[in-house]
Chains A and B, each alone.
Chain A
Amino acid sequence: MLATATPKHSAAGEGLVYSRLAFAQKPTLLKAIQTAIQVELSTIPAYYTALLSMKDTASDAYRLTRSVLMEEMFHVYQACGLLISIGGKPILTGDAVPTYPGYLPGFEHSAMPYIALRRASVEVFSDVFMVIEKPGVDGPPLEGEGFETIGQFYSAIAQGINDFVKYTYDENIKQWVELSPEEQLKAEAELFKQDPEMTQWQDFYFGKFGGKYVKVTNLTSAAAAINEIVKQGEGAIAPNEIQSIMPFEKYGVYNHYGERVDGTFGPILGTTIELSHYYSFQKIAQGKVPFPPTYAITSEPDINAYLNVNAKKLAQAFNVFYSTLMRSLQQSFCSGEDNNNLFFKVAITIMHSIVPVLGSSIMQLPTRENGDSSVGPNAAPTFEYVPELFSRGIELIQEVVGALPPSRSGAPLKEVLEGILASASHIEALCDQQSI
């Protein structure tokens, strides 16, 4: 740690360039983990748009996409814990919220696809989602090269944490030198120094998805946390973990459901390949599961282009709720029971009772006043971060409800929106009070 180095950007100024020395510095690690959080955050609206556009929630394509999406949310949570463990404060609002269309932050533009909010199609799965989740060789990129896979990015972080604790770079001999055990303990304590304002809460709920949340306090748990994300999700696959016809381990626990080696769906022992996002998307892209019908949403949703007033207001309301969600999540990592409760009170309500039903309703509204929703183009949520507070979202929904005709054709939407208002009413006062 004698020398200092900061990660450089590539020649094109796009992605980060790997430098082992730079990644062994705390400021770089803080920045890299925040970037990792933003990478995970960037995938969610893209996957979510594809998910909501599928009409059949019982289809395998829907199920597979949903499982990946839920695990991305878990990864955000786990990456935030990692950042907190080394004294950082996760930022999930403002500029940290991704915009579309755009590139994944930190990556070479040539290596990662340009991500837009598109309806589900075989091409989106094969050319965008599979590329995002593509497996790579274990380990960080070569010195001076950019990042091509998410797995490489996490490997670089893991390597950096390990270097910080165990090694120092000796400029004179141009070599990494292992620290003495006492020095290692000191370095570990120096790295894993949590800000007292922040807490790694372990009580959160993403249903059956994701791995086991690891509370990070030292080198070992940091490695385990990264392992949870990488091995189960983006799938940097070590060669010895290729699935054989018989299990390598004689025993295991059936903690997941998925496609079994016997060709049926059911409880599986949960190998990295069976669970990896890449292979989930591949099944859809290769047509191994039937592709469901989708809503005819516009290809690059732009709120200003929605001439249908209701669609525009609902998309605006969506952005407000989405932004409140991000603010509540960010604040829920702060210390204090009340902050922790924001996850269970505000975030859960928005994620479960508001966002999915509102998003899917928007996708059933044509962008033009007199359009035909079965032909399209229909509107879609734009996932933009806006400063307006929660109650503004309620107002917008109320305006649409008030404007809807009492006719039969308007009734289903009206009913859905009234349901959203009912759910929102329970947390409105709390959101006002917290200014979220």
Chain B
Amino acid sequence: MAMNNSYIYKIYPSIGIARVGTSEEFYLGPETSAGMPLTWPEAVPATSEDIFRDQNGDMRRQAARFKIYRYKEGCEHEAEEVTLNTPGVHKIEWTVHVANKKSSWYEYQTNPGELPYSPNHPLRNPSIIEAEVRQKTLITDPGKRQISGRSQHGQQYTFSKAGAADQYCSFPPENIKPFTIETLGECQTDDHGRLLVVAGYGRSGSSSPSGPMIKQYANNDSWWDDTADGPIHATITLQEDESTPIYADSAWVISGVPSYAPQIENMVTLYDTMYDTSICRMGADERIFKDNLWQSGPEGYYPDFNTEIRPILERGEKYPWVAAIPPKPHRFDYSRLGNPDKTYNGLRQYILDVMRAPESVNEIVTSENGATLMPYLCGDGSINSQQYMANFLTVTGTQYFFLKQWAQGYFTNLPDKATRHPGEVLTKAVLDNCVGGAFCPGIEMTWVSRIPQIYSEPFRIKAQKDYSVPLSLGLNYDAGMQPGDITRYMAIPWQADFNECSSQPVGKRYMWWWPAQRPEFAYLPDASITDPVEMQLKGKQVAWVGIDFDQSAGNYIAFSDDLEMVNHWMQLGFIYNANLGKSQDGKPLPPLFVEVQRTLPRANADDTTING
């Protein structure tokens, strides 16, 4: 007993991401930053574009895979995975409870709510007043599922009415259109007894008697979708003491929007945002931020070029593949920029000066020399005209601090030899593949990710221990989060925001929303070009959805009606590195991204020629 108790067990990733698809088949979510999804059941990174669709051309769903790691206090870097194959392990039992509370929550209005909502903040579906009715009709709750053993799957593990058996459950009305919702996905185990949570089918529907209509980007009454979130618990029993289960720290699963460009990261990832929250508001690393002071200057924190600076630049370098952004200024000379010699301070300062400072959320060019500030992306408040709202995205405070130290030469550029907790590496990779801003509302999660009270420790959401059903309509930070509490802020249905949030007029400019997650432009494949620079000079760049020739048109890089996204999201193309696995003279070819696996015909693409 004493020996067992000296271990700390936790589930990783602490937040896992599943994504909707229309196929019964699925793949595992990428387990590296900007990596390809993993094939199922082999669980190896895919090396072909075939991963995205099944043989019928249906979009595969994404499963989130959860593992358990244990370590002894103070020896986190020696953490080891615990599976049914680990000697001495008798049983691992998982409990999953996801729900969708979107229709029962407040309307999404950019930032209100990050501070408490005002008393006149409208609820969604306000015509349904009685609390119990709201709980039973506006919350989709399939109930808890328990699963243990190897390679388990089946109807009893689906997040459907059938899977609920005799538990309490609630589902949207059966007559909603255009799609009914019968399940929020399912759970399975792999041959080691690890947990997989597979997302639903991306079905959204409205109960409106006049038929499905979408009136705005985030708040549409009478609508439901099948995204969800909720806690993952696990107990481990060891052979030496089968009567005493060991509880692992819980994790959370979010099942959301497909990842159409998995190999392209966002400028600010969800990891960056949560990391910033942990640094600035949870005291996670006093080498960086202590007593409310950034540890700057020559005596302060030295960020690592390869892990803390270079990724920011590399993300910028990839954006021109998914938006109409000039590629040339986004190509960087990493050998010079990674050189801490003071004579390069001017060069590094040049880059820093075009990065928008976190307090300059409404500045588009520098007041010193008129350079356009980066990132050229929307901020939380782009859709509002108020000046106090953030019109443009900035890197996080922590990212900007790292860049400032770097510009002044206070950084290191050494081979990375650190041993890290593999579970924490996994969590970072998973969250690096999600959007960390702008939040309006976002893709996987919104600004709740910036509220420290939702966490039990950095990156780990505090799950409420005991709760009754039907699930609560409210929010209690002290008690912890319930199923559905993390994603209920998001757009209902998700397809509305996903369609509209392509580009956004802000003043005279049209800013991009989340090109790395919701592509705006794509290059058509051209087998004759393997050089990315040549592709970006001579390739064929087209709108991912809609038209590209009139920025002010309703269907500029979007469907003209959000309802079309509800019907066609599963036919859109994926942005894929066509040079993946290719090499020349023994060196891997640099990445070159093109659109693949699109099943939706592209208007005017190949049927007519203009001016001969």
Q: Which residues of A contact B (CB under 8 A)?
A: 57-58, 60, 62-63, 66, 203, 205, 207-208, 212, 244, 246-248, 250-257, 260-267, 341, 344-345, 348-350, 352-353, 356-357, 360, 423, 426-427, 430
22 contacts between A and B (CB under 8 A): A57-B368, A58-B364, A58-B370, A203-B333, A208-B326, A208-B328, A208-B372, A244-B611, A251-B539, A253-B538, A254-B326, A255-B326, A255-B328, A260-B551, A262-B552, A263-B552, A344-B347, A357-B368, A423-B345, A423-B346, A423-B349, A426-B342
Residue of A57, A260, A423 near B367 (CB, 8 A) is: A57
CB distance B541 to A253 under 8 Å? yes
B555 on interface, CB distance cutoff 8 Å: no
CB distance B371 to A207 under 8 Å? yes
For A344, what are the chain B residues with a Cβ–Cβ distance below 8 Å? 333, 336, 344, 347
CB distance A264 to B510 under 8 Å? yes
Query: B612 to chain A: closest CB distance in Å?
Result: 9
For B324, what are the chain A residues with a Cβ–Cβ distance below 8 Å? 254, 266-267
For A345, what are the chain B residues with a Cβ–Cβ distance below 8 Å? 343-344, 346-347
Most buried by B among A248, A349, A352: A352
Nearest-CB residue, chain A, relative to B540: A251
Give residues of chain B (328-381) contacting chain A, Cβ–Cβ below 8 Å: 328-329, 333, 336, 342-347, 349-350, 353, 364-372
Query: B556 to chain A: closest CB distance in Å?
Result: 9
Query: B459 to chain A: closest CB distance in Å?
Result: 36
A113 to B365 Cα, complex, angstroms: 32
For B371, what are the chain A residues with a Cβ–Cβ distance below 8 Å? 207
Residue of B336, B345, B537, B610 near A255 (CB, 8 A) is: B537
Interface residues on B, range: 35 or more
Residue of A252, A261, A266 near B510 (CB, 8 A) is: A266
Q: Do A352 and B370 contact each other (CB < 8 Å), given the known contacts A255-B537, A256-B326?
A: no
Q: Do A251 and B536 contact each other (CB < 8 Å), given the known contacts A246-B611, A348-B346?
A: no
A263 to B327 Cα, complex, angstroms: 23
A354 to B508 Cα, complex, angstroms: 30
CB distance A349 to B536 under 8 Å? no
17 extra interface residue pairs, beta carbon distance < 8 Å, beyond A253-B523, A255-B326: A250-B609, A253-B541, A254-B324, A254-B326, A254-B541, A255-B327, A255-B536, A262-B553, A264-B552, A267-B324, A344-B344, A349-B346, A352-B353, A353-B349, A356-B369, A423-B349, A426-B345
For B478, what are the chain A residues with a Cβ–Cβ distance below 8 Å? none
For A356, what are the chain B residues with a Cβ–Cβ distance below 8 Å? 368-369
For B326, what are the chain A residues with a Cβ–Cβ distance below 8 Å? 208, 254-257
For B327, what are the chain A residues with a Cβ–Cβ distance below 8 Å? 255
Residue of A66, A251, A263 near B541 (CB, 8 A) is: A251
A66 to B366 Cα, complex, angstroms: 13
CB distance A62 to B346 under 8 Å? no
Query: B228 to chain A: closest CB distance in Å?
Result: 37
B198 on interface, CB distance cutoff 8 Å: no
Query: B571 to chain A: closest CB distance in Å?
Result: 21
CB distance B539 to A266 under 8 Å? no
For A208, what are the chain B residues with a Cβ–Cβ distance below 8 Å? 326, 328-329, 372
CB distance A57 to B510 under 8 Å? no
CB distance A427 to B343 under 8 Å? yes
Query: B605 to chain A: closest CB distance in Å?
Result: 9
For B353, what are the chain A residues with a Cβ–Cβ distance below 8 Å? 352
Nearest-CB residue, chain B, relative to A425: B342
Residue of A63, A264, A266, A426 near B365 (CB, 8 A) is: A63
A254 to B520 Cα, complex, angstroms: 12
A62 to B510 Cα, complex, angstroms: 19
Residue of B325, B366, B537, B539 near A57 (CB, 8 A) is: B366
